Amino acid sequence: MSPTPPERVPRRVTRLLARLHAHRAPFLFIHAPMRSGTTLLQHILAQEPEFLTAGETHVVYRSPRDLRRLLERVYAYHGWLGVRPRCVVEKCVTDDLVEDCSLPAWPRVQSVFLVREPLDTIASLLALRDRPWPFTESVETAAAYYLARLVQLERLAESVPARARGFVLTYAELVERPEQALGALSRFLELGRPLRSEYREQRWTGEARRGDLSPTIRQGTIVRRESPARLDIPPPLRERLVAAHDAALARLRRRCDGT
């Protein structure tokens, strides 16, 4: 487990620091469908001193002013800070969190687009049927959610102002070829050393509404999971999902860097 900070900073202080840092702090947004490895990637990034994250914050992004709200929530969650602002890592996995798709062009924002193969994604979503989410009710609702997410990812990628501001990564690359994938991501982020596949638990690991709650996230390293059981998906829907995934991934790669 990560060490507990020895002293927590009062909330009024974290709000003040967020206000002071809002005009110079960098941000890294991970855009993806749910069940695509976003929590895993946040844990990997959290090992590095350059990054600060609190899992999902549920800020809704309507304008650049909301970046300060993100800072306030992350600073308040941790309750402690170093003397300098660090890059805050946020994840967005539902369409309603980003109302302004020009977000990748906002000042000091970099974006990572993380995509998982559709059939595995839907099977993983349906394994969460005990959660109160409408898109886990059936194959059809999960497919509709996934297809809508691809549309928003493409809209977001259209706003990436330069290849150096956007990066594309697939779940398969992350778990099957982690050294290559993390090496490419490290170069994109201009880190002094490559990201590692091993990681420590965070305060927010396994916390409800912060990200993945499965035992796998507590393994402390990238684990290649077995593919979920294949679902009985009507062939026309299956073909539509695969075609949409392939087309979206190709468009994302045309706009952004990648492995």
What confidence tens digit (pLDDT) does each residue in 40-84 have? 999 999 999 999 999 999 999 999 999 999 998 998 888 765 546
- Residue 249's pLDDT is what? 98
CA distance from start to end of the chain: 31
Average pLDDT over residues 25-34: 97
CB 146 within 8 A of CB 33: yes
Average pLDDT over residues 178-186: 97
Reduced to 3 states, what is the DSSP secondary structure of residue 115? strand
- Say yes or no to pLDDT of 258 above 50: yes
Write out the CATH class of domain 11-258: alpha beta
Q: How far apart are CA 114 and CA 212, in angstroms?
A: 15
pLDDT band at 10 (very low <50, low <70, confident <90, very high): confident
pLDDT band at 103 (very low <50, low <70, confident <90, very high): very high
- The domain spans of the chain are 11-258
